[in-house]
């Protein structure tokens, strides 16, 4: 792993969990400043160096309330990297429906809605943040996460910064519920026969042995896993070379209950056998 100084910027949609992420980092021993204007990022990094804080455990949470947010943030990142600081941007987001629900629950207006509706503020913020999200090193969709889920994800990503290598999250999902928006790579397992149409397997999910054995015993299942493992070996090597520390691999089927779950578990097991650090989650199990 690179020994150059690292600096994490946590940003994203209002209501998506920035404060929860900041608290999780603090619990891990990070030095975190919340709601820092982008223009002060370099000053913070410089001050952290003066007091000899751990170079790879400094983070700032920044939000979009500045009208020049994108320009200011890009300039701050360029200044940091120009001084030899390795910057990593973590972007938190959630669906419009979930953000509306969260703001309504706390009875607070969106910081950008002004005299308009709550959804107007959310739409305006998405537009401002579009470029930042596109360039982020890690995107986390918190739509289906409670505070404990998000904290666990932050711990999984940042709890072992001293360990080398790429950390991977393999997530199964159902296409009928939409793609995971934080996925770096997506594969489709709908080419395999669906256990949903086998009466005795329908109530089960891909974590149970009868479904797993049925899915893995189908023509093409092993060939797919062999080929995808090789693809991931090449991709992981490239990610590491480019300095990417985290990646999310999404494995989908129709409902996210049978095929994708069994195959995601197999993908994760093969990656672990290669010595990679992997966590697995099943987004849509139990959703039906």
Model confidence pLDDT, tens digit, residues 19-77: 999 988 988 888 888 877 777 787 777 666 544 444 568 888 888 876 567 778 888 88
Residue 163 scores a pLDDT above 90: no
Consult the annotation and say whether 2 binds a ligand: no
Consult the annotation and say whether 16 binds a ligand: yes
Consult the annotation and say whether 124 binds a ligand: no
Residue pLDDT, tens place only, 97-110: 999 999 988 888 88
Consult the annotation and say whether 64 binds a ligand: yes
Consult the annotation and say whether 17 binds a ligand: yes
Q: Is the dihedral of CA 20, 25, 29, 32 positive or negative?
A: negative
Residue 1 scores a pLDDT above 70: no
Residue pLDDT, tens place only, 219-230: 999 999 999 999
**In which order are the strands placed within the sheet that holds 277-282?**
185-188, 246-253, 167-174, 277-282
Task: Write 109-115 long-range contacts (CB < 8 A, 24+).
Answer: 110/14, 110/15, 111/14, 111/63, 111/64, 111/65, 112/14, 112/64, 112/65
What are the start-end ranges of the H helices in the chain? 18-27, 41-50, 69-82, 96-106, 118-135, 147-158, 209-216, 221-241, 259-273
Most confident of 167-181, 190-204, 238-252: 190-204
Consult the annotation and say whether 63 binds a ligand: yes
Consult the annotation and say whether 206 binds a ligand: no
**In which order are the strands placed within the sheet that holds 58-61?**
31-33, 58-61, 6-12, 86-93, 138-141
Consult the annotation and say whether 65 binds a ligand: yes
Tell me what pLDDT residue 243 has: 67
**pTM of model > 0.75:** no
Q: Which domains does the chain have, with CATH numbers?
A: 6-159 (3.40.50.300), 167-282 (no CATH)
Residue 149 scores a pLDDT above 90: no
Consult the annotation and say whether 19 binds a ligand: yes
pLDDT bin (cut points 50, 70, 90) of residue 204 is very high
Least confident piece of the model among 1-5, 194-198, 262-266, 283-287: 1-5
Residue 164 scores a pLDDT above 70: no
Whether residue 137 contacts residue 246, with contact meaning beta carbons closer than 8 Å, is answered with yes
Angle between helix axes 259-273 and 221-241 (nearest 10 degrees) is 50
- Residue 274, both tokens: 């290669």
- Rounded CA-CA distance 228/97 in Å is 34
Consult the annotation and say whether 44 binds a ligand: no
Consult the annotation and say whether 186 binds a ligand: no
Consult the annotation and say whether 66 binds a ligand: yes
């Amino acid at each position: 792993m690179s020994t150059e100084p690292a600096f994490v910027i946590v940003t994203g949609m209002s209501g998506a969990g920035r404060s929860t992420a900041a608290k999780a980092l603090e619990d891990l021993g990070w030095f975190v400043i919340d709601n820092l204007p982008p223009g002060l990022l370099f000053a913070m990094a410089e001050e952290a160096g003066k007091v000899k804080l751990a170079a790879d455990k400094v983070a700032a949470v920044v939000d979009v309330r500045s009208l020049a947010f994108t320009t200011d943030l890009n300039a701050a990142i360029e200044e940091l990297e120009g001084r030899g600081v390795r910057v990593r941007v973590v972007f938190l987001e959630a669906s419009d429906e979930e953000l509306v629900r969260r703001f309504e629950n706390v009875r607070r207006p969106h910081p950008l809605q002004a005299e308009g509706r709550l959804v107007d503020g959310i739409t305006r913020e998405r537009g401002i943040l579009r470029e930042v999200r596109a360039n982020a090193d890690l995107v986390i969709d918190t739509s289906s996460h409670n505070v404990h889920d998000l904290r666990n994800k932050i711990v999984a990503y940042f709890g072992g910064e001293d360990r080398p290598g790429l950390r991977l999250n393999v997530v199964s999902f159902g296409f009928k519920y939409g793609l995971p928006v934080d996925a770096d790579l997506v594969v489709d397992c709908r080419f395999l026969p669906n256990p949903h149409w086998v009466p005795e397997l329908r109530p089960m999910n891909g974590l149970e042995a009868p479904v797993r054995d049925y899915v893995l015993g189908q023509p093409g299942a092993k060939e797919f896993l062999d080929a995808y493992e090789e693809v991931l070996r090449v991709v992981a090597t490239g990610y590491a070379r480019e300095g990417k520390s985290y990646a999310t691999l999404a494995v989908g089927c129709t409902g996210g209950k049978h095929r994708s779950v069994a195959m995601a578990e197999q993908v994760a097991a093969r990656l672990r056998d290669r010595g990679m650090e992997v966590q697995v989650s099943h987004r849509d199990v139990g959703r039906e």
